[in-house]
Amino acid sequence: MSVERFLAHALSPWMKVAGTDDDIVLSSRIRLARNIQDYSFPLLASEEEAAAVVKHVQEVFQTSEEGTLTGAQIIAMDELEANEKRMLVEKHLISPHLAERSHHGLVLLSADESLSVMVNEEDHLRIQCMSPGFSLEQSFQAANAMDDWLESHMTYAFDEQYGYLTSCPTNVGTGLRASVMVHLPALAMTQHLQQILPAINRFGLVVRGIYGEGSEALGNLFQISNQLTLGKTESDMITDLQGVVKQLIKQEREAREALWQHSQLKLSDRVMRSLGILTHSYMIDSKEATRRLSDVRLGVSLGLIDRISLDMLNELVILTQPGFLQQYAQMVLTPEQRDEKRATLIRERLKLS
């Protein structure tokens, strides 16, 4: 089936809904790792075994009751061009690991793109649910509902002592990875982030960049998630993450207020300079673009800028990634050409605001 409707817009429908604390928390995500009993795990499976898993999962999807998967679409990785897969990664609809598969990889995407089920990623199944703002419970309920439905149609690899069995030992147990995407520019500007982020690790949490493990934290965007999946219940893991994120939100708000009270002119100058550069540049690389967009996002949240919406800035973060830039240009681009197209796209979007 066609992937075009998922690539036609940078913002997923669920991202256009206002969320709690969405001036700081962009999104919440729950991911569940599951494997099917009596099948070799993907990292060790032969081509025949991987194909058998795909067939089994497709049969389950096709027997769904009315309403269970309304509007959902199954997309095979081997039917996609390289740039189409890259764009799905940039929208966080699939993982980089699944994008690397050329055979026997699938993803089921819901109509609003808030739910995806990846097949033959690192595990047989990766259930992912995303929601706007600070809404981990909402994401967990949706992921849990899909998990229960799948488990009613297949037998998971499960051990009474260790819980759900997974390819990576760090996912054994609940198989749950809860995360939030946060924007922390004021804490970065006041140098408090250097003390806060290492402390987060002591709570059993990990801080990553916008595209997860191995990615760089650009534009003061950070992904905070649980590190361990064994020894605690799902509820306890989510509660622990919620507690830390609430403190981060509080500290970021306090840092923004302090900057506004004591350095209003300097802060305003920084925000408006970044807006000016974005509005008038003819070449801009990805690091500078995300840094400038971070400044403008802070300016919007503080009320310095009223003609630009957070939705537009969220969209620009995705549109300025390599895959979407190449779709925009309708050609493969060199790094220099990407810098030119990125600047052009940003100028055009900001003029529309």
- Model confidence over 171-203: pLDDT tens digits? 999 999 999 999 999 999 999 988 888 889 888
Residues 63, 203 within the same domain: yes
Q: Is 208 annotated as a binding residue?
A: yes
Categorize the per-residue pLDDT at 67 as very low, low, confident or very high, splitting at 50, 70 and 90.
Answer: low
pLDDT at position 213: 55
Residues 231, 297 within the same domain: no
Q: Is 291 annotated as a binding residue?
A: no
Residues 251, 272 within the same domain: no
Number of separate domains in the chain: 2
Range of the domain at 176: 4-255
pLDDT at position 353: 67
The mean-pLDDT minimum among 218-222, 308-312, 337-341 falls in: 218-222
pLDDT > 70: percent of the chain: 96
Residues 181, 35 within the same domain: yes
Q: What single-letter DSSP state applies at residue 209?
A: B
Residues 246, 267 within the same domain: no
- Answer for the pair 63, 299: CB distance below 8 angstroms, yes or no: no
pLDDT at position 70: 76
Q: Is 353 annotated as a binding residue?
A: no
- Answer for the pair 37, 156: CB distance below 8 angstroms, yes or no: yes
Q: Is 209 annotated as a binding residue?
A: yes
Q: Is 25 annotated as a binding residue?
A: no
pLDDT at position 125: 98
Task: Please tell me whether residue 23 adopts helix, strand or coil conformation.
Answer: coil
- Model confidence over 131-147: pLDDT tens digits? 999 999 999 999 999 99
Q: Which residue has the tokens 């147990």?
A: 173
Q: What is the CA radius of gyration of the chain?
A: 21
Q: Examine the fold and report which residue of 255, 285, 307 is the final residue of a domain before the chain moves on.
A: 255
CATH at 8: 3.30.590.10
Q: Examine the fold and report which residue of 255, 276, 293 is the final residue of a domain before the chain moves on.
A: 255
Angstrom distance (rounded) from CA 290 to CA 191: 19
Q: Examine the fold and report which residue of 203, 225, 255 is the final residue of a domain before the chain moves on.
A: 255
Residues 52, 192 within the same domain: yes
Tokens of 61: 């999807």
Angstrom distance (rounded) from CA 63 to CA 321: 37
Q: Residue 236 pLDDT more than 80? A: yes
Residues 208, 274 within the same domain: no
Angstrom distance (rounded) from CA 300 to CA 39: 51
Q: Sort strands 125-132 and 25-34 into parallel, antiparallel or unpaired.
A: antiparallel
Q: Is 342 annotated as a binding residue?
A: no
Q: Is 178 annotated as a binding residue?
A: yes
Angstrom distance (rounded) from CA 343 to CA 289: 8
Q: Is 181 annotated as a binding residue?
A: yes
Categorize the per-residue pLDDT at 216 as very low, low, confident or very high, splitting at 50, 70 and 90.
Answer: low
pLDDT at position 194: 85
Question: Kind and range of the H or E element at 297?
Answer: helix 286-301
**Beta strand segments in the chain, E:** 25-34, 73-76, 106-109, 115-119, 125-132, 158-159, 163-164, 176-183, 205-208, 221-226
Tokens of 327: 């779709």
Tokens of 104: 């026997």
User: What φ, ψ does residue 32 adopt, rounded to 5°?
Assistant: -115, 130
Categorize the per-residue pLDDT at 60 as very low, low, confident or very high, splitting at 50, 70 and 90.
Answer: very high
Rounded (5°) CA angle 53-123-153:
50
CA dihedral 89, 93, 98, 103 (to 10 degrees): -110
- Model confidence over 77-91: pLDDT tens digits? 999 999 999 999 999
Residues 221, 300 within the same domain: no
Rounded (5°) CA angle 19-107-218:
50
- Answer for the pair 236, 168: CB distance below 8 angstroms, yes or no: no
Q: Is 27 annotated as a binding residue?
A: yes
CB atoms < 10 A from the CB of 164, how many? 22
Residues 236, 318 within the same domain: no
Categorize the per-residue pLDDT at 47 as very low, low, confident or very high, splitting at 50, 70 and 90.
Answer: very high
- Answer for the pair 212, 95: CB distance below 8 angstroms, yes or no: yes
Closest CA to 187 of 199, 198, 195: 195
- Answer for the pair 325, 333: CB distance below 8 angstroms, yes or no: yes
Q: Is 89 annotated as a binding residue?
A: no
pLDDT at position 228: 79
pLDDT at position 201: 86
Residues 177, 325 within the same domain: no
Tokens of 73: 């679409």
Q: Is 180 annotated as a binding residue?
A: yes
Q: Is 210 annotated as a binding residue?
A: yes
- Answer for the pair 7, 92: CB distance below 8 angstroms, yes or no: no
Q: Residue 284 pLDDT more than 60? A: yes
Q: Residue 96, class by beta-carbon neighbours within 10 Å (0-12 exposed, 13-18 middle, 19+ buried)? A: middle
